[in-house]
């Protein structure tokens, strides 16, 4: 089994090109279901989740061509570099099967677009990282309000809209990124106007809105987390550049601080990381804007403790919680992290403790006693973000760290070892 080996103690120095956002790419690719016209996407990252979604879309009938520089290239003769072309003119199937959907939660988002365009969909209940139940009832309740008939049979959601979907007022009982995106895409082809209240307005959702409007959708957003969609008879093709991955950028910013390094993050937007970057400054790191990127440094290694609570955007992102915890093991004092988004998202704690961290769990609260000397150890990744927190810990630790189950990393980080190695890290894949 492939593992990652790290020799810690080297400050990161250099620059890192931030890839396109995974969490923006997946729903935008799924939006191809809404049209029979070609979509052209730039800045799509090379990730296993992207490849898995490509397979799901191709099974539905999509034709996908990726540039020859892509690891997931389907058409090796394509010369458009990182450009991806997607066209779903005719459906081969209206069934998204268990084998693929169970391995990646975002693939459940095919439900709404399939139902909207074809009036029928059969989609497996989702899987993905083991970070809590993350029920889909919010998705299904919203689709029912749009006129869908929903059955659950043998682990599949079977949805019908014999006369098509009809616009409705939907008030989400909880802010949900996935439900907001799923219902919004479905509403694009519904008759009349749909209003989604208490919607999640993460930057990735905003990128999806921009893209859908390029396709001919009519979507407007109010300042109180409300989305208005005027349904259209059909959507067309569009060109779009995927936004930069703010979680990847935040991760490398944290890694720079943890190692006492100085790293420039290129091709990223500091506005989508406003709160995490401000918190890095509060604990003692230097953060500045440079051209199209961000400079992050921590030369004195003197870090102050802090209390953090994960919240929907623009609050602190749960997807940076584990990485920040690894960093706070080096702060001089007691820090607290309150996880309010997902239960079971502290599975990395035990692995950090194996490396010498002093962390106590109290329900949804983690109490980190900092100034810990981390020692390299053999550890195991449990999910995507937990796995990269172990990478940060390994970069900080004394000696050798070996991380197992690195397939989690490949779901969300494009060329991680190469990017870190270019900044001086001693990191490699081993068998």
> Tens digits of per-residue pLDDT, 66-117?
875 443 333 333 334 479 999 999 999 999 998 888 888 899 999 999 999 9
CA 241/CA 39 separation, integer angstroms: 11
233 and 249 housed in the same domain? no
**Of 261 and 135, the one with more pLDDT:** 261
- Please name which of 36, 13, 24, 72 lies closest in space to residue 257, comparing C-alpha atoms: 13
**Under the phi-then-psi rule, with left for phi > 0, alpha for psi from -120 to 50, and beta for the rest, what region is 96?**
beta
CA 86/CA 72 separation, integer angstroms: 13
277 and 362 housed in the same domain? yes
CA 331/CA 424 separation, integer angstroms: 23
**Of 382 and 50, the one with more pLDDT:** 50
Give the count of domains, the chain: 2
| pTM for this entry | 0.94
56 and 164 housed in the same domain? yes
pLDDT in tens, 148-194: 999 999 889 999 999 999 999 999 999 999 999 999 999 999 999 99
Q: What percent of the chain is predicted at pLDDT more than 70?
A: 95
pLDDT in tens, 118-130: 999 999 988 544 4
259 and 143 housed in the same domain? no
3-state secondary structure of 346: coil
Neighbours of 142 (CB within 10 A): 26
The neighbouring-strand residues paired with 39 are 86, 238
Query: pLDDT tier at 394 (50, 70, 90 boundaries)?
Result: very high
Write down the pLDDT at residue 76: 34
pLDDT at 56 over 70: yes
- Please name which of 131, 122, 118 lies closest in space to residue 56, comparing C-alpha atoms: 122
300 and 223 housed in the same domain? no
202 and 349 housed in the same domain? no
Decide: residue 418, CB within 10 A, 0-12 exposed, 13-18 middle, 19+ buried.
exposed
Vertex 237 angle, CA 140 and 18, to 5°: 80
201 and 248 housed in the same domain? no
pLDDT at 285 over 50: yes
Domain boundary among 212, 241, 270: 241
Whether 85 contacts 65, CB under 8 Å: yes
DSSP sequence for 218-230: EEEEETTTEEEEE
Write down the pLDDT at residue 323: 97
297 and 149 housed in the same domain? no
3-state secondary structure of 140: helix
Domain boundary among 241, 260, 292: 241
223 and 307 housed in the same domain? no
Whether 174 contacts 136, CB under 8 Å: no
Which residues neighbour 257 within 8 Å (Cβ) at sequence distance 6 or greater? 280, 283, 285, 296, 297, 298, 303, 327
Output the CA torsion 96→99→100→104 (10° steps). Answer: 120
pLDDT at 200 over 90: yes
Vertex 413 angle, CA 411 and 418, to 5°: 130
Handedness of CA 385, 324, 4, 29 (dihedral sign): positive
- Please name which of 365, 402, 424 lies closest in space to residue 13, comparing C-alpha atoms: 424
pLDDT in tens, 140-150: 999 999 999 99
Q: What is the DSSP letter of 186?
A: H
Mean pLDDT of the chain: 93
3-state secondary structure of 336: strand
- Please name which of 305, 310, 314 lies closest in space to residue 335, comparing C-alpha atoms: 305
Write down the pLDDT at residue 22: 96
139 and 265 housed in the same domain? no
Instruction: At 199, list the tokens.
Output: 């919607």
Instruction: At 40, list the tokens.
Output: 């052209």
Q: Going by DSSP bridges, is the β-strand pair 293-297/262-266 parallel, antiparallel, or unpaired? A: antiparallel
Write down the pLDDT at residue 134: 52
- How far from 130 is each of 133, 182, 223, 337, CA to CA, in Å? 8, 21, 33, 19
3-state secondary structure of 139: helix
Q: Which domain holds residue 353?
A: 3-18+244-430
- How far from 82 is each of 67, 243, 248, 278, CA to CA, in Å? 5, 14, 18, 32
**Among 129, 257, 285, 423, which one carries the catalytic annotation?**
129
Arithmetic mean of pLDDT, 411-429: 97
Domain boundary among 241, 256, 286: 241
CA 256/CA 13 separation, integer angstroms: 8
CATH label of the domain that carries residue 356 = 3.65.10.10
Would you call 129 a catalytic residue per the annotation? Answer: yes
41 and 13 housed in the same domain? no
Arithmetic mean of pLDDT, 266-281: 95
3-state secondary structure of 389: helix
Arithmetic mean of pLDDT, 41-60: 95
Arithmetic mean of pLDDT, 378-394: 93
Q: Count CA within 13 A, CB hemisphere, residue 195.
A: 7
The neighbouring-strand residues paired with 87 are 63
Whether 415 contacts 387, CB under 8 Å: no
- Please name which of 160, 165, 143, 162 lies closest in space to residue 232, comparing C-alpha atoms: 165
Write down the pLDDT at residue 127: 59
293 and 351 housed in the same domain? yes
CA 106/CA 402 separation, integer angstroms: 29
Instruction: At 127, list the tokens.
Output: 């899987």
């Amino acid at each position: 089994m492939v593992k990652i080996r790290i020799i810690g103690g080297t400050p990161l120095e250099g620059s890192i090109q931030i890839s396109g956002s995974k969490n923006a790419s997946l729903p935008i690719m799924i939006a191809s279901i809404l049209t029979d016209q070609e979509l052209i996407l730039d800045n799509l990252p090379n990730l296993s989740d992207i490849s898995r979604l490509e397979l799901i879309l191709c099974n539905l009938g999509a034709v996908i061509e990726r540039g020859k520089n892509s690891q997931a290239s389907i058409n090796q003769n394509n010369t458009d570099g990182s450009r991806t072309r997607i066209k779903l003119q005719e459906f081969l199937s209206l069934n998204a099967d268990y084998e693929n959907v169970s391995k990646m939660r975002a693939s459940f988002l095919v439900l709404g677009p399939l139902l909207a365009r074809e009036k029928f969909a059969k989609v497996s209940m989702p899987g993905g990282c083991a970070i809590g139940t993350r029920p889909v009832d919010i998705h299904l309740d919203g689709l029912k309000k749009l006129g869908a008939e929903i059955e659950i049979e043998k682990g599949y959601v079977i949805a019908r809209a014999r006369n098509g979907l009809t616009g409705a007022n939907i008030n989400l009982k909880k802010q949900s990124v996935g439900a907001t995106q799923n219902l919004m895409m479905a509403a694009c082809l519904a008759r009349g106007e749909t209003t989604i209240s208490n919607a999640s307005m993460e930057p990735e959702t905003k990128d999806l809105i921009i893209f859908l409007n390029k396709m001919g959708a009519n979507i407007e957003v109010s300042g109180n987390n409300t989305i208005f969609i005027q349904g259209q008879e059909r959507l067309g093709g569009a060109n779009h550049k995927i936004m930069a991955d703010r979680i990847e950028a935040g991760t490398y910013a944290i890694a720079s601080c943890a190692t006492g390094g100085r790293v420039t993050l290129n091709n990223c937007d500091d506005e989508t990381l406003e709160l995490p970057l401000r918190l890095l400054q509060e604990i003692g790191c230097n953060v500045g804007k440079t051209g199209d990127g961000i400079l992050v440094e921590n030369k004195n290694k003197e870090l102050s403790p802090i209390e953090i609570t994960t919240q929907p955007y623009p609050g602190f992102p749960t997807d940076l919680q584990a990485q920040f915890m690894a960093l706070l093991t080096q702060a001089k004092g007691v820090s607290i992290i309150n996880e309010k988004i997902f239960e079971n998202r502290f599975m990395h704690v035990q692995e950090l403790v194996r490396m010498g961290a002093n962390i106590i769990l109290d329900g949804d609260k983690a109490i980190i006693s900092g100034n810990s000397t981390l020692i390299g150890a053999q550890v195991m990744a449990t999910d995507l973000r937990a796995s990269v927190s172990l990478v940060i810990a390994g970069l900080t630790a004394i000696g050798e760290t070996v991380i197992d189950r690195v397939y989690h990393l490949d779901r969300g980080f494009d060329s991680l070892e190469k990017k870190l190695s270019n900044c001086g890290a001693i990191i490699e894949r081993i068998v």
